[in-house]
């Protein structure tokens, strides 16, 4: 699960809110109204609002004011996505919500035939369908539906699913301990690419035709979508990489703790 530390939040806010290369950081804590100093996720919507999912609720930041939402008080918000011009999809560790930003109406959505919820991540395709990782299964929520159904492709069963990305070609990529799964949403065909020996994948990000995959042991691999080839590109001093993001030829690597590493892909070295 992606769990961004506060320092990672500050770096990302600096990137999305400022075009100036040397702009100062913005310091947001519970003293400024943040619902928790533990940041699980950050999402920038089409209106340029920054949504912050924390261990204790939901915040929205417009560059000046920080709002909190009572509807999500005491909920650990894991991930946020824009469903359409009015609604957000929001997951906590136990529930999936559709939240109308205008009316502030919050709808609880359901995963079919699920008794124990442990939501991890989700992604949305070009048809606005939502794909949700729950425990070791993946569920599809069709646009405007209120109930998500389990996908039963054999390759998707009995895997320790960790993270999900849907690329511009509407291909769903899923990482698990065992490796990388490619799932074609149109044909519903799946392919498995085994993780390099002795490595367990934890999180990933994408840029163009490359996936950047971090492991629990601190290794970072690139995966060429065209050649289907893994390449070890770096190791960081960490027992567990919790989150990784791409921005302007750099990888921002966060640990579930108190540091952020910045890796220059051009120089292939840590620069911060």
Q: What is the pLDDT of residues 163-213, one digit of tens each?
A: 999 999 999 999 998 899 999 999 989 999 999 999 999 999 999 999 999
Question: pTM for the full model?
Answer: 0.85
Q: Does domain 195-272 have CATH number 3.20.20.70?
A: no
> What tokens appear for 258 in the block?
């108190």
CA 248 to chain centre: 18
| Residue with the two structure tokens 């392919």 | 191
Distance from C-alpha of 156 to C-alpha of 136, rounded to nearest angstrom: 8
Residue-range domain boundaries for the chain: 195-272
Which residues 6+ apart lie within 8 Å of 213 measured at CB? 175, 180, 201, 203, 204, 220, 221, 222, 223, 230, 244
What are residue 17's phi and psi, to 5 degrees?
Answer: -100, -10
Strand, helix or coil at 6?
helix
Q: What is the pLDDT of residue 19?
A: 45
What's the pLDDT tens digit per position in 100-125? 999 999 999 999 877 777 889 999 99
Distance from C-alpha of 77 to C-alpha of 52, rounded to nearest angstrom: 8
What are residue 33's phi and psi, to 5 degrees?
Answer: 110, 5
Q: b/e string for 176-186 if b means 16 or more Cβ within 10 A?
A: bbbbbbbbebe
């Amino acid at each position: 699960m992606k769990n961004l530390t506060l320092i990672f939040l500050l770096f990302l806010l600096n990137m999305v809110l400022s075009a100036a290369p040397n702009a100062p950081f913005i310091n947001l804590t519970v003293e400024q109204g943040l619902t928790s100093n533990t940041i699980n996720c950050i999402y920038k919507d089409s209106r340029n609002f920054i949504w912050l999912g924390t261990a204790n609720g939901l915040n929205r930041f417009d560059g000046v004011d920080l709002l909190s939402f009572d509807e999500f008080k005491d909920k650990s918000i894991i991930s946020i996505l824009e469903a359409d011009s009015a609604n957000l999809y929001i997951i906590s560790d136990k529930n999936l919500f559709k939240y109308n930003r205008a009316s502030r109406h919050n709808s609880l959505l359901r995963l079919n035939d699920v008794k124990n919820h442990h939501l991890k991540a989700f992604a949305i395709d070009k048809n606005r369908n939502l794909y949700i990782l729950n425990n070791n299964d993946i569920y599809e929520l069709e646009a405007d539906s209120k109930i998500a159904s389990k996908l039963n492709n054999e390759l998707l069963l009995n895997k320790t699913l960790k993270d999900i990305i849907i690329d511009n070609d509407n291909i769903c990529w899923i990482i698990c301990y065992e490796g990388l799964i490619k799932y074609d949403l149109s044909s519903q065909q799946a392919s498995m690419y085994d993780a390099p020996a002795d490595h367990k994948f934890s999180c990933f990000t994408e840029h163009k035709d490359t996936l950047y995959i971090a492991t629990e042991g601190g290794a970072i691999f690139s995966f060429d979508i065209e050649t289907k080839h893994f390449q070890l590109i770096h190791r960081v001093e960490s027992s567990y990489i919790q989150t990784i993001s791409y921005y302007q030829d750099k990888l921002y690597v966060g640990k579930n703790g108190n540091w952020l590493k910045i890796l220059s892909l051009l120089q292939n070295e840590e620069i911060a």
